[in-house]
Structure 1
């Protein structure tokens, strides 16, 4: 555990994030009568994402939206919930959390298209939105 400078609020390091909890299953979609496979856009949103600011040791709470077009795999939702829970006590900057989520999902899914948006609750009068596509 790391302690925020001058504070007694302990938090974990980013190596505690658990991408191995992400589970996928095969994506199968029948061809249309015109002989092509349609592209399906899948969107997941949660307002329950939280991590810890490594500078202040205070919680960072965000709405996370994941949008992707699957290729051969789809994400199992319960595993995504457990993945997000692994961030709960981790000290990670907002921008780095967004980047880590994107990288872990890209590796697990290998989608045709992926977009991750994090919209953090206002802190100190500042709003933060991070988007990776």
Structure 2
């Protein structure tokens, strides 16, 4: 059973108001490709020590009627550089925002980083496995 991250992480807040930075363009393609944006650097401030950490983000989706506008996506992701967060929170926020804005048929977000204690971490949210409302 999938639960929203909001229900079990006591430090989760809804302080991120970044959705307005995301724009879309209409999908005017005869065929519907799977779009994969990969090796995207994402800088956030660690909630543990408030130092900047860089993660590697991958966004994969099958568009329905909208595509994410790439300049707006870049501005959106750059806005996280001033946000203090945990890995679980940032991937949840990005997934939720993209799902809301582009309304894809399928969406998968992956986030990789070496944690503050030196362990490699990979988090994945895939709409194929998402039972959240």
Distance 1:120 1:99, change over 3 A: same
Distance 1:17 1:129, change over 3 A: farther
Q: CA deviation at 1:17?
A: 4.6
The C-alpha deviation readout for 1:24-43, integer Å capped at 9, x for no partner, is 0100122xxxxxxx431001
In the alignment, which of 97, 106, 110 is matched to residue 113 of structure 1?
Answer: 106
Q: Partner residue of 1:28?
A: 28
- Pairing 1:68-79 to 2, within 5 Å after superposition: 68-79=61-72
- TM-score, normalised with respect to structure 1: 0.79
Count of aligned pairs between the two proteins: 114
Please state whether the residue corresponding to 2:82 is helix, strand or coil.
Answer: coil
Unaligned runs of 5+ in 2: 1-12, 127-133
**Contact 1:24–1:108 at 8 Å: present in 2 too?**
yes
Which residue does the alignment assign to 1:103?
96
Give the distance between the partners of 1:47 and 1:123, measured in 2 at CA. Answer: 20
Normalized against structure 2, the TM-score is what?
Answer: 0.79
TM-superposed CA distance for 1:59, in Å, is: 1.6
4+ aligned runs moved over 4 Å, structure 1:
none
Query: Which structure 1 segments of 5+ residues have no match?
Result: 1-12, 31-37
The structural deviation recorded for 1:60 is: 2.1
2:114 and 2:40 map into 1 onto residues whose CA distance is 10
Is the partner of 2:15 in helix, strand or coil?
helix
Larger Rg: 1
When you count helix as a share of all residues, which structure comes out higher?
2
* C-alpha separation in 2, matches of 1:22 and 1:99: 16
Q: What per-residue deviation string (whole Å, max 9, x for no partner) do you get for residues 55-112 of structure 1?
A: 2112221010000000000011110000001100111110110000000000011000
CA RMSD of aligned residues (A): 1.7
Give the 3-state SS of the residue equivalent to 1:87 in structure 2.
helix
In the alignment, what sits opposite 1:56? Answer: 49
Give the C-alpha shift of residue 19 in structure 1: 1.4
